[in-house]
Chain A
Amino acid sequence: MGILRILSKKQIRGKLMSAIPSGPRPKHLTIGRIGMYCFILVCAIFFLMPLYVMVITSLKDMDEIRAANILNLPKELSFYSWPKAWSQACTGFVCEGLKPGFFNSIKITVPSVIVSVGLSAINGYALAFWRFKGAYFFFGLCMFGAFIPYQVMVYPLLKIEDALGIYSTLPGIILVHTIFGMPILTLIFRNFYASLPIDLFKAARIDGGNFVKIFLYVIIPMSTPITIVAVILQVTGIWNDFLLGLVFAGRDNQPMTVQLNNIVQVDYGVAEYNVDMSATILTSLVPLFVYFISGRWFVRGIAAGAIKG
């Protein structure tokens, strides 16, 4: 249409008469657009390069790693580093690979996610619908906790857990994850519940629902989307945690990230980079899996956790 306006009537007639091939207009591929695609491709290569290096290094044997370019594809595929990283690599004095760490991480992550999400949902519900005087003061205090560096709280918390007799145990690390997950999760749930129509709650009240009944029969059935977001946030967060697992989980429950670091940073012996990279991939498989299957939800979780943080 733009062209028609600029051309004079005579020209238009000329154009119409000259039987131009019709069909969709060719896409504009200006210099600017080509430049844009080039830039975005360079960025994509930068972001993908470490993943690529990780995967191909894990598929080479040590001779090839020493001799060849880090970016070259392996000449011969060798898979021995994978089972080694999984069940034989040494973390300090024990050589059982990442396997125990994997199961420890599951033992830590599953109950931590359930407890923290459940507790935070109740918090959010109470804050959104059953406000009492002072509730928001404590909520503010709790939110403040989200920004305190862990280093300030690690040692006193260790003392508290010691006094409770759960330091260096599974319940101990679960409690720690519940505590540190609470501020952001409570915020997410409160915001979600506050956006629900209040009339719904009023109707349930008139029908005689109490605190527990309304939560069980009205609120929980409507909480699916926000619960998915919260679970994704917590699963990736707890699986990727290093510091808390290192301090609070104890030697018997060390999560995968801690064991991975031990395997790679082992000082004695020859460094086996292919085993290191296999171990690194194995450790990031769970969060990557969550990320790839959840896509949109993951993004939503980030936005929910971030906006109005």
Chain B
Amino acid sequence: MPLFRNIASMIALLPMIVISLTVFVGCIIYSFVYSLTNSKLVPVLNYVGFDQYERLFKQRKWDVAVENIFIYGFVFTIGCLVIGFLLAVLIDQKIRGESLFRTIFLYPYAMSFVVTGLVWKWVLNPTFGLENSMHMWGFGWFELDWLVNRDLAIYAVCIAAVWQGAGFVMVLMLAGLRGIDEDIWKSLSIEGVAKWKSYLFVILPMLRPMVVTAIVLIAAGVVKVYDLILALTSGGPGYATTTPAMYVMENFFSRANLGQAFAASIIMFISVVCILAPWAFYEFYLRNKYAAN
């Protein structure tokens, strides 16, 4: 009677099952259904087909948001991976004060996105910030007006984000580096392979699972970015640093344009699925298949 044997387990898992179905699945269905309506201030079931999506794709602001998320996603992911990997390699060289450096590189990760945004807002302040410091030191040509520059503001967001996230990648990579067999290092040194070559062409490919995990986690976080930008630029100047998440929140809570918000959120959801699907396919299907052979 397996059904009765595990009845306690079923009861224990009931909250998880209910939450998974109502919140995780239910909310997506709800959002999708209402994205097909012309709801404004309150959700009403007045179907208009894919009108909201059509309107969404015509919005200049949405275009900017999508463009920004691509720039941010690209720079942030690459920045975190490169700096994180470099730091992990350097820390792996049996340097002095290893734990001190590790602490320094990881502490931003403990901070809130809001804090990160506000600190960098002050550091990059065009009047009193780093630009001013450089001028005072006699570098009059130095320009760092990113926060008020429409084209560069999004890169200021990237810097703040990399500052916060690089330590996380470093920890992941360092765990991978420490797990590499001593014998591999021995054979590499007997072969006389230069150290940087060994890292780049032998060790890095061996760390692929770590790299993939890091990329997936970073990418999933990229789509969600909201508080950081709100604190750092509030989406400005103008709407130069707005992102899809901000677009959704604005339409929900300040513009009372629910239908648009639902449509935009569904697009966000679909893009996350597109990022995750190949990874999940690899992780849960291909790997099992190869493991079985």
Which residues of A come within 8 Å of B, CB atoms?
33, 36-37, 39-40, 43-44, 46-51, 53-54, 57, 65-66, 69-71, 119, 122-123, 125-127, 130-133, 135, 138-139, 141-142, 144-145, 147-157, 159-160, 179, 182, 186, 210-212, 236, 239-243, 247, 257, 260-261, 264-265, 273, 276-277, 280, 283-284, 287-288, 290-292, 295, 298-299, 302-303, 306-309
Contact = CB atoms under 8 A, between A and B. Distances in A.
12 contacts: A126-B12, A142-B16, A148-B272, A149-B245, A151-B261, A152-B269, A153-B31, A159-B43, A182-B16, A186-B16, A284-B110, A292-B107
A156 B27 contact: yes
Nearest to A135: B13
Nearest to A288: B110
Given A47-B104, A148-B24, A302-B168, A57 B122 contact: yes
From DSSP, what is the main secondary structure of chain A's interface residues? helix
A145 B20 contact: yes
Contacts of B172: 302-303, 306-307
A211 B110 contact: no
Contacts of B99: 295
Contacts of B261: 151, 155
Nearest to B166: A47
A288 B119 CA distance: 15
Contacts of B258: 155
B105 A70 contact: no
A147 B276 contact: yes
A148 B12 contact: no
B265 A50 contact: no
A33 to B, nearest CB: 8
A288 to B, nearest CB: 6
Contacts of B230: 242, 261
Given A127-B13, A142-B16, A243 B6 contact: no
B171 interface: yes
A126 B14 CA distance: 11
A65 to B, nearest CB: 6
Interface string B249-293: 100110000100110111011001000100000000000000000
Smallest CB-CB A-B distances: 10 pairs: A130-B9, A240-B112, A211-B8, A145-B24, A291-B110, A156-B27, A132-B6, A242-B227, A156-B30, A141-B20
Interface in B33-73: 43
A211 B107 contact: no
A209 to B, nearest CB: 12
B207 interface: no
B217 interface: yes
Contacts of A141: 20-21, 24-25
B94 to A, nearest CB: 10
Contacts, number: 258
B103 interface: yes
Given A51-B107, A138-B17, A156-B31, 7 more contacts: A69-B136, A156-B30, A179-B23, A283-B115, A292-B107, A309-B216, A309-B217
B28 interface: yes
A102 to B, nearest CB: 13
B8 A210 contact: yes
Interface stretch (B126-134, B150-158, B180-188): B126-134
Contacts of B86: 39
Nearest to A139: B16
Contacts of B276: 147
Interface in B169-228: 171-172, 175, 210, 213-214, 216-217, 220, 223-224, 226-227
B238 interface: no
B19 A287 contact: no
A37 B94 CA distance: 11
A126 B43 CA distance: 38
Contact of B122 (A53, A71, A144): A53
B163 interface: yes
B231 interface: yes
A257 B27 contact: no
Nearest to B226: A243
Contacts of A212: 8
Contact of A147 (B91, B220, B249, B252): B220
Given A142-B16, A179-B19, A257 B2 contact: no
Contact of A299 (B10, B106, B253): B106
A290 B122 CA distance: 25
